[in-house]
Amino acid sequence: MIGENMDSSRVLVTGGAGFIGSSLVEQLLKNGSKVVIIDNLSRGKLDNLSEVSNYSVEGGNLRILVGDCCDPELLEQAYSEFGGFDSIHHLAAINGTKWFDEIPTEIIELSIDSTRILIDYARLCDSKFVFYSSPEAYGENPNQPLGVQSNSVFSNPQTHQRHSYGASKYLCEVLVQSACKSGLRAAIVRPFNVYGERLPGGQYGQVVSIFLHLIKNKEDLIVHGNGGQSRSFTYIDDIVSGLISIEKAEPANGFAKAYNLGSASEITILELAKLCIDVTDSGKSIEIIHGDGYNGDSASRLAEFGEYEREIDWIAPTSLRDGLSKVWSSISGN
Ligand SMILES: NC(=O)c1ccc[n+]([C@@H]2O[C@H](COP(=O)([O-])OP(=O)(O)OC[C@H]3O[C@@H](n4cnc5c(N)ncnc54)[C@H](O)[C@@H]3O)[C@@H](O)[C@H]2O)c1
């Protein structure tokens, strides 16, 4: 039964079978929203949606469309599922740092083309548009913390193409801000190094999950360079609570508010490796090795807690130690 506080909004989530998308979808469904997912399952998995599979039965509130989020037929089908959308969360992108320098053309193409197409689609559907950018959109800006007034700093593309990801996110923000001038209602989200149970590990994964999976396999941890680069890691449940507040917030007129969702504490990658070893109690068997890093890695990435985050009353209460323990229980099965 739908209670009084339940939300009956209709939401399209591109990339909804991915790490962040699937957690967002779960919460939207719990809140009473009707959700359509478009995901080509290139990195996402239907398993990520197993906890909400009961919503996808006939007459339920979830529809999963497998395919490209730029496919016009799929977008038409998505529209017809619940008769349009109140909001569109555009998460589909190629994530995983190792890809950024390896397949820059694909990264840029998907990022720019899909955002342009989905902005037009949001206009047609008269929907609010929530674009998932990244702190990588600031490039290698050495001035921290990163806030609304911070600039983007990118290195020479002749040396490496890692910024295919961050620079294309930057350009997508330009597309969104420009569309807002002609009436689009939109918000921009920049999640700061999110980690959680479904974060992919392996060589194309992200650092927290890479470390914890290496520990599970009793392999040593490789930190890039001296490991002195720092990040603010943010637990997935804290991110989702921010996303739900952004979903409910009224967009600004004429521009998109950009929310930097990042925990207030910063830690170096070397310290993170040590903490992972400590949390998993594997100090006797695992060593830390120093290896080559990625080109264009920023030395630091800390979110500024600003006006927009205050407006939605957002904080990230989960400590890194507690968050890592939760993820480790899930990975190790203990
Ligand atoms: N995880 C983070 O820490 C983080 C930080 C900053 C920004 N972001 C952004 O948040 C969004 C979600 O990130 P994530 O970590 O959940 O990544 P993810 O890779 O788990 O999710 C992206 C999803 O998009 C899907 N996808 C890729 N190409 C597609 C296409 N052409 N059509 C349809 N679906 C497609 C993938 O299968 C995947 O399920 C991305 O836009 C990412 O850039 C994530």
Look at residue 257 and tell me whether its pLDDT is greater than 70.
Answer: yes
Maximum distance among all Cα pairs of the chain, rounded to whole angstroms: 60
- Ligand 1 mean position to 224 CA, how many Å? 23
Residue 5: its pLDDT value, please? 59
277 pocket-lining for ligand 1 (C-beta < 6 Å): no
- Structure confidence by residue, pLDDT tens digits, 94-132: 998 889 999 999 999 999 999 999 999 999 999 999 999
Cα angle 205, 89, 327; round to 5: 35
Look at residue 235 and tell me whether its pLDDT is greater than 90.
Answer: yes
Question: Is 93-195+233-264+300-317 CATH 3.20.20.370?
Answer: no
* Contact assessment for residue 96 and residue 205, using Cβ atoms and an 8 Å cutoff: yes
- Structure confidence by residue, pLDDT tens digits, 166-176: 999 999 999 99
* Contact assessment for residue 178 and residue 189, using Cβ atoms and an 8 Å cutoff: no
Scored b (16 or more CB within 10 A) or e, 269-303 reads bbebbbbbbebbebeeebebeeeeeeebebebbbb
Q: The whole model's pTM is what?
A: 0.96
**How far is the C-alpha of 229 from the C-alpha of 292, rounded, in Å?**
13
Which residue's CA is the closest to the ligand 1 atom numbered 8?
134
**Domain residue ranges in the chain:** 93-195+233-264+300-317
Helix axes 269-279, 320-332, angle to 10 degrees: 50
Look at residue 193 and tell me whether its pLDDT is greater than 60.
Answer: yes
| Beta pairing class for 230-231 and 267-268 | antiparallel
Residue 44: its pLDDT value, please? 97
Output the six-digit token pair for 190. 């920049």
* Mean pLDDT calculated for residue range 15-41: 98
93 pocket-lining for ligand 1 (C-beta < 6 Å): yes
166 pocket-lining for ligand 1 (C-beta < 6 Å): no
Which residue's CA is the closest to the ligand 1 atom numbered 12?
91
Pocket test for ligand 1, best of 22, 41, 43 (most atoms within 8 A of CB): 43
- Ligand 1 mean position to 239 CA, how many Å? 14
